[in-house]
Chain A
Amino acid sequence: SQTIHQWPATLVQPVGSPLSLECTVEGTSNPNLYWYRQAAGRGLQLLFYSVGIGQISSEVPQNLSASRPQDRQFILSSKKLLLSDSGFYLCAWTQVGGSPLHFGNGTRLTVT
């Protein structure tokens, strides 16, 4: 069966510091990968998605970037965090050809 791993579970970072969140999927190949964010009291917003290695689509302008160095690895990064980057970050995947989106357990990021 397929599983998705996301770490760390919680992170507290000062303003201006870098960020790297990692996500890996097991039990499938060539998945579509996604980064979503849930800000406090809001719904989930799509940040980035990737349909293959090195292929990244950005959905909203922001202080973040994403990379996909391997088929089942997806990384969310920032060079300098802002207070507004605080939120709950979720990695997710689907099978190519259509399937429901499946989420990891998320990372709670607090920028202080």
Chain B
Amino acid sequence: GQNIDQPTEMTATEGAIVQINCTYQTSGFNGLFWYQQHAGEAPTFLSYNVLDGLEEKGRFSSFLSRSKGYSYLLLKELQMKDSASYLCAVADSNYQLIWGAGTKLIIKP
């Protein structure tokens, strides 16, 4: 079966750095997406990785290792507004997105 695993909840301090991990087992791989979702709102796109390595975009970076079926989202200089759920999604061999359950990130002052 297809499976995406990510921690249910994480807590971090304002100004700090947090890494949210995602492991996946899918039938085929055509890229991994990270989305941010605030409560009651639709997800918004953060990043896309299809090749191994680190993609940096401002305070957010995303890493992919295809051989390990592993990705992480790194958030630096955390701000209170970063409190949200972070969803990992993998495009399988049919380019269908398989979604993780999301990681709820709580930022404390």
Say whether A associates with B. no
The interface of chain B, by Cβ under 8 A from chain A, is: none
